[in-house]
Chain A
Amino acid sequence: MTLLALNPLVSPDPGLFIWSTVAFLILFFLLSKFAWKPIVKALDERERSIEDALSKAEMAKAEMAKLISENEDLLKEARLERDNILKEAKEIKDQIINDAKDQAKAEGTKLIEKAKDEITNQKLAAMAEIKNQVSSLSLAIAEKVLRKQLEDQDKQQALVNDLLKEVKLN
């Protein structure tokens, strides 16, 4: 204790000790209540909000990437769809054309057939007509020829004789 008593520097002054204790405790309580609590809280909250914002940004980025890839998929699908539709349309068109062609062909063939039949019928009818005409004409001609021939009695007799001769041979 003599050392402490000798040097005033290392002997604590009770007055200052009391004052500093009072002042420090007041400072501590006031700062704890009105400064450190809100500050530490605000810092924590801000850190949390920054973290949140960062993770949200990350999520948004992922979402964006997802959307983009989805869009691409959609686009690809759409393209595929379009191609399919076009292909189908072409097929349908070809088919329609082919069908039309076939139908036209069939129709044509049918018409031709019909025409042929008609022609044959007409031909047959015409032939029959001609035959009738020819037979009547020949009959008329034969009548006229016969009439002419048989106008002369001698000649008739000769002919009958000839004919009778022929019969005899038989």
Chain B
Amino acid sequence: MDLSHIFNSKKFFSIAICAVLFSFLSFSAFSQEHASSDTAHATAAGAHDAKPEKEEDISKVILHHIADSHEWHFFGHVALPLPVILWTDNGLVSFLSNKFGHNDHGTELLDVDGTKLVYYHGKYYYPESVKSADGTYIAYNNKGDIMNTKPLDISITKNVVSLLISVTILLVVFIGIANAYKKREGKAPKGLQSILEPIIIFVRDDIAKPQLGHKYRGFMPYLLTVFFFVWLNNLMGLIPFFPGGANLTGNIAVTMMLALCTFILTTVNGNKNYWGHVFTPHVPWWLYPLMIPVEIIGLFTKPIALMIRLFANITAGHILILSLISLIFILKSVLVAGIAVPFVLFISVIELVVGFIQAFIFTILSALFIGMAVEEKHAEH
């Protein structure tokens, strides 16, 4: 199916531009703070390690910022401890993440209700029985992979808190405007309703209807939920401090969950025509041994591409911003900030567009895949 009409659509661009301008107004101030707060982070991390700053350290800092965390770091040494919930061999254990201090070098044994654990680089492991040569309870194999087994970590991490915040915001906002629709039945939209209504209509008219045809109605709730969930979390990821800052849509577990939802919907709703394309492709029969496996792989590559596209785009944006900030520390001159900060501002604005576009692309591709699954048989092309 040809997607170019979507990008040529005037409506899409006008909405994208509106989104950019609107977001620019509200978030340009934040981007400035993003820069300064990240500076603080980097400084703190540098001081903490008390090692000469090397590029390796910078990349560690960046990866640390992008990764999930058991505490919500605000500034300096101020952080919100979050509950750790582990499914260990001895059952469920839970404690606040600051209960055993902030040692994540794996050198300390933690005794949680009789279960011995070790905290290493932000993760909880079962300790080795003896300390290794570098003073940790962590053992590596010859490839450098950690050999320790892990308990199942279902902690309320930073990303989970961010997830719950975003879910709450979405529920409050959309149930609120749904009530507004009920209360002001048949009247013109007002307030928040009038901001979100064009976007809802955009999802319906430019995403759902072109891909799903007359069957769009049943898939509207899923597409709208995905669109606003991804968009809101993309935007929240760009806010450098508390309610945002978690890299939720840049986390592969979340994008995997979303892609899996689309995959399940596609598979469950796939009709005879769809499965016919997979198992009896329109090629000479002797190509079947080649084509059927390709088609079956194709079933899985589509959601995997969805998963990786969103994850990679959002993560790349975060890495880009953090790298620009880190230039100040790599070049060891505060003057670099004069170039780095405007660049960060610029990239942040681009990220706002990317945040919208990725939400849009995720939703439209989901709609496209579902559309292919429910498409009625028609003349071959």
Nearest Cβ in chain B — how far from A43, in angstroms?
Answer: 7
* Interface of chain A residues 1 through 41 with chain B (CB within 8 A): 2, 5-6, 8-21, 23-24, 26-28, 30-32, 34-40
Q: Are B181 and A16 in contact (CB under 8 A)?
A: no
Interface size on B, residues (CB 8 A): 52
Q: Are B171 and A31 in contact (CB under 8 A)?
A: yes
CB neighbours of A26 from chain B (8 A): 167
B252 touches A12 (CB 8 A): yes
Residues of the B chain whose Cβ atoms lie less than 8 Å from the Cβ of A45: 185-186
Partner of B170, one of A21, A27, A37: A27
A14, A23, A45: residue with the most chain B Cβ atoms closer than 10 Å: A23
Interface residue count on the A side (C-beta < 8 Å) = 37
B256 pairs with A32, CB closer than 8 A = no
Query: Shortest Cβ distance from B145 into chain A, in angstroms?
Result: 5
Which secondary structure dominates where chain A touches chain B? helix
Within 8 A of A (CB), among B227-283: 229, 248, 251-254, 256-258, 260-261
In the complex, A87 has a CB within 8 A of chain B: no
Contact B186 A32 (CB under 8 A): no
Given contacts A35-B174, A36-B224, whether A13 and B181 have CB atoms under 8 Å apart is no
Question: Which of A5, A27, A38 meets B178, CB within 8 Å?
Answer: A38
Contacts of B229 in A (CB 8 A): 24, 27
Cβ-defined contact, B174 with A15, below 8 A: no
Judge whether B186 and A46 touch: CB under 8 Å.
Answer: yes
A43 to B163, CA, bound (A): 29
Question: Which of chain B's residues 186-241 have a Cβ closer than 8 Å to chain A?
Answer: 186, 197, 200-201, 204, 217, 220-222, 224-225, 229
Of all chain A residues, the one with the shortest Cβ separation from B254 is: A20
Q: Mark B301-335, 1 if CB is under 8 A from A, else 0.
A: 00000000001000100000000000000000000
Q: Are A40 and B204 in contact (CB under 8 A)?
A: yes
The residue on B at minimum CB distance from A46 is B186
B256/A39 in contact, CB under 8 A:
no
What are 5 sample pairs from A and B whose C-beta atoms fall under 8 A apart? A6-B144, A13-B153, A16-B157, A27-B229, A31-B171
